[in-house]
């Protein structure tokens, strides 16, 4: 049987499985851009109305056009992963991971997530010859503005061909019930901080006529006490930080970089921290939240005295929400 017929048979098997089962499924798509992944998801949407498609590309869309920014690639992949977790928490029956997934490391965490929330994983591999991929990507560029050069296609095809034996081995291992790793969510800590109600930050903005637009304020304003690069568990960090403890914080000044719009409050707190305590209020164009440290050190003169006390609570961010216990 030819490769195309084998792939079509596999596709029909997946559709038949989903159509005739009430079990929740995660479908991981594997293939380069324009290999047919989006067309396949459309078939699933026609089949079921409880399909959630998670694609990192969606986070690069702006006003209907694709605007790729390599500096946002890591964070957008994390956003997409979190979207899949949230979908499983909301009990969407079918969760589709519509990324290229050309290596095991690209999709392994998704499989762990599926295991955590008791989703069965189905894998769909898309293989299309080089000339056809080039034709399709040129057509897609005209429709969406997503430009993919021939060198990118060649690089992805090489990566896929190199990794395909390992991917197929992983899939066989998973199907045999030999990959059972889960997300250790109960102990997952991205960072520890003092978290504040958004209304307090909006209140300061209005009182002092500051350049803070509520839609640009971080969903969870905070002072970072500890960024968990060492991947310590919640239990380990709980020996140093009192989760749930209320803390009074004096907001001293407001610092802003007019060129990018990046801004932050500088603060005083009795909690241990290795940098100037601050609350990032607006993440400036081309900046990241951590840039606040650099801006404060630069000695910006655009300061307004605040000297107001607000109250927060010590908690930790687990990648999806803030927790206090």
H, E, C per residue of the chain:
CCHHHHHHHHHHHHHHHHHCCCCCEEEEEECCCCCCHHHHHHHHHHHCCCEEEECHHHHHEECCEECCCHHHHHHHHHHHHHHHHHHHHCCCCEEEECCCCCCHHHHHHHHHHHHHCCCEEEEEECCCCHHHHHHHHHHHHHHHCCCCCHHHHHHHHHHHHHHHHHHHHHHHHHHCCCCCCCCCHHHCCCEEEEECCHHHHHHHHHHCCCCCCHHHCCCCCEEEEEECCCCCCHHHHCCCCCCCCEEEEEEEEEEEECCCCEEEEEEECCCCCCCCCEEEEECCCCCCCCHHHHHHHCCCCCEEEEEEEEEEEEEEECCCCEECC
Same domain, yes or no: 142 and 284: no
Tens-place pLDDT, residues 200-216: 988 898 888 887 765 44
Q: Which residue has the higher pLDDT, 221 or 70?
A: 221
Task: Yes or no: say if 159 and 45 are a contact pair by the CB < 8 Å rule.
Answer: no
Same domain, yes or no: 165 and 214: no
Dihedral sign for Cα atoms in the order 259, 261, 266, 271: negative
Cα dihedral 14→20→22→28 (10° resolution): 10
Same domain, yes or no: 174 and 65: yes
Q: According to the model, what pLDDT value does residue 165 have?
A: 95
Same domain, yes or no: 153 and 220: no
Same domain, yes or no: 30 and 146: yes
pLDDT reading at 61 higher than 60 = yes
Q: According to the model, what pLDDT value does residue 218 have?
A: 52
Task: Yes or no: say if 237 and 324 are a contact pair by the CB < 8 Å rule.
Answer: no
pLDDT reading at 177 higher than 90 = yes
pLDDT reading at 196 higher than 80 = yes
Instruction: Please state, in angstroms and rounded to a whole number, the distance separating the CA atoms of residues 255 and 280.
Output: 10
- Domain region containing 115: 3-183
Among residues 183, 201, 220, the one where a domain terminates is 183
Q: What average pLDDT score do residues 84-100 get?
A: 92
Same domain, yes or no: 151 and 46: yes
pLDDT reading at 1 higher than 80 = no
Q: According to the model, what pLDDT value does residue 9 have?
A: 54
Among residues 158, 183, 208, the one where a domain terminates is 183
Share of the chain above pLDDT 90, in %: 40
At 256, is the pLDDT very low, low, confident or very high (cuts 50, 70, 90)?
confident
Q: Which residue has the higher pLDDT, 100 or 92?
A: 100
Same domain, yes or no: 236 and 174: no
Q: According to the model, what pLDDT value does residue 3 have?
A: 46
Q: Which residue has the higher pLDDT, 71 or 16?
A: 16
Among residues 183, 210, 245, the one where a domain terminates is 183
Same domain, yes or no: 161 and 234: no
Give the least confident one: 147-151, 225-229, 288-292, 294-298.
147-151
The residue assigned the tokens 């109305």 is 49
At 34, is the pLDDT very low, low, confident or very high (cuts 50, 70, 90)?
confident
- Number of structural domains (the chain) is 2
Dihedral sign for Cα atoms in the order 273, 275, 280, 283: negative
Beta sheet of 94-97, edge-to-edge order: 51-54, 94-97, 25-30, 120-125
Same domain, yes or no: 175 and 41: yes
Q: What average pLDDT score do residues 130-141 get?
A: 83
pTM metric for this prediction: 0.58
Q: According to the model, what pLDDT value does residue 322 have?
A: 85
Instruction: Please state, in angstroms and rounded to a whole number, the distance separating the CA atoms of residues 249 and 255.
Output: 17
CATH number of the domain encompassing residue 63: 3.40.50.300
At 316, is the pLDDT very low, low, confident or very high (cuts 50, 70, 90)?
very high
Same domain, yes or no: 204 and 309: yes
User: Could you tell me the two tokens for 248?
Assistant: 């009074």
Same domain, yes or no: 18 and 87: yes
Dihedral sign for Cα atoms in the order 147, 153, 154, 159: positive
CATH number of the domain encompassing residue 299: 3.90.1740.10
Same domain, yes or no: 26 and 172: yes
Mean pLDDT over all residues of the chain? 85
pLDDT reading at 137 higher than 70 = yes
Tens-place pLDDT, residues 147-168: 777 888 888 898 999 999 999 9
Q: According to the model, what pLDDT value does residue 150 have?
A: 83
């Amino acid at each position: 049987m030819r490769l195309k017929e084998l792939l079509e048979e596999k596709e029909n098997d997946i559709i038949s499985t989903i159509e005739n089962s009430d079990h929740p499924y995660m479908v991981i798509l594997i293939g380069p851009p324009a290999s047919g992944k989006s067309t396949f998801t459309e078939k699933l949407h026609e089949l079921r109305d409880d399909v959630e498609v998670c694609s990192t590309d969606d986070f690069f869309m702006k006003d209907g056009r694709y605007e790729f920014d390599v500096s946002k690639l890591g964070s957008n992949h994390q956003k997409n992963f979190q979207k899949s977790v949230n979908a499983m928490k909301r009990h969407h029956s079918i969760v589709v991971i519509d990324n290229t997934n050309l290596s095991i490391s690209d999709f392994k965490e998704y499989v762990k997530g599926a295991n955590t929330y008791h989703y069965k994983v189905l894998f769909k591999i898309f293989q299309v010859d080089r000339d056809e991929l080039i034709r399709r990507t040129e057509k897609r560029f005209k429709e969406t503005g997503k430009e993919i050069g021939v060198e990118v296609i060649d690089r992805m095809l090489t990566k896929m061909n190199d990794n395909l034996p390992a991917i197929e081995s992983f899939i066989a291992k998973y199907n045999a019930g030999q990959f059972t790793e889960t997300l250790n969510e109960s102990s997952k800590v991205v960072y520890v901080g003092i978290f504040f109600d958004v209304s307090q930050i909006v209140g300061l903005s209005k009182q002092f006529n500051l350049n803070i637009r509520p839609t640009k304020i971080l969903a969870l304003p905070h002072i970072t006490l500890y960024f968990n690069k060492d991947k310590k568990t919640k239990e380990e960090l709980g020996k140093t930080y009192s989760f749930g403890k209320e803390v009074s914080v004096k907001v001293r000044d407001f610092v802003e970089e007019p060129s990018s719009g990046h801004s932050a409050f500088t603060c005083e707190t009795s909690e241990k921290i290795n940098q100037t305590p601050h609350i990032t209020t607006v993440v400036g164009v081309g900046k990241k939240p951590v840039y606040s440290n650099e801006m404060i050190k630069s000695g910006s003169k655009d300061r307004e005295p605040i000297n107001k006390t607000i109250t927060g609570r010590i908690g930790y961010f687990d990648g999806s929400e803030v927790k206090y216990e």
